[in-house]
Chain A
């Protein structure tokens, strides 16, 4: 099992560009989520999904879109990148929010 796979690992964007961060899991987990990590801010929840076809907003959803067309994949889209979105992004999955979360290795995103 690969677990939770995030791509790319690193990305540099220019302000205004769009891109999609990929997240895939092979553990048949229903619950998936996206967090961003900034120094001194901990892990902040962007969006989450309790199953295919269902998504909801977390603490800091503005500027990000998600979709969940399959159980395995949960991509995060930046519509128009801004320097404030420079961060490390982690995807996580589990059977539910009450179960241990399995994290991917993260995507380090820089926006110039």
Chain B
């Protein structure tokens, strides 16, 4: 079935360093959603991208949707300890009403 690959699986950074996670699909996506899950918590919606080449920013977070709508990225500038957690992308499966998630990228930060 339609899947989305998310990399890396884990990322450890020093506080203040940047962080990026990527989601890649073999098929064209209608949209992509991003979520954050704090340790011990539940996923929380961050943003949705719909348009080709779209770039959205939320403070230190920058979200991009590829021109071909097959990939997306989440970039965090100057990480802080509050950024710790797992970041997921989620895509709508074509031909079905399913929303499937990537494997997630777990971010840990050394203060």
Partner of B101, one of A42, A56, A100: A42
Chain B residues within an 8 Å CB radius of A45: 98-101
Within 8 A of B (CB), among A68-106: 90, 92, 96-98, 100-106
Partner of B42, one of A33, A100, A104: A104
Interface membership of B44, Cβ < 8 A: yes
Chain B residues within an 8 Å CB radius of A97: 92, 97-99
Interface membership of B90, Cβ < 8 A: yes
Chain A residues within an 8 Å CB radius of B102: 42
We find that the number of chain A residues with CB closer than 8 angstroms to chain B is 26
Partner of A100, one of B1, B9, B48, B88: B48
Q: Mark A30-62, 1 if CB is under 8 A from B, else 0.
A: 010101000011111100101000001011000
Given contacts A42-B6, A42-B103, contact A48 B90 (CB under 8 A): no
Q: Are A58 and B98 in contact, CB atoms less than 8 angstroms apart? A: yes
Q: Are B31 and A59 in contact, CB atoms less than 8 angstroms apart? A: no
Q: Are A59 and B1 in contact, CB atoms less than 8 angstroms apart? A: yes
Given contacts A98-B31, A101-B90, contact A40 B103 (CB under 8 A): yes
Within 8 A of A (CB), among B88-111: 88, 90, 92, 96-104
Q: Are B6 and A100 in contact, CB atoms less than 8 angstroms apart? A: no
Chain A residues within an 8 Å CB radius of B101: 35, 42-45
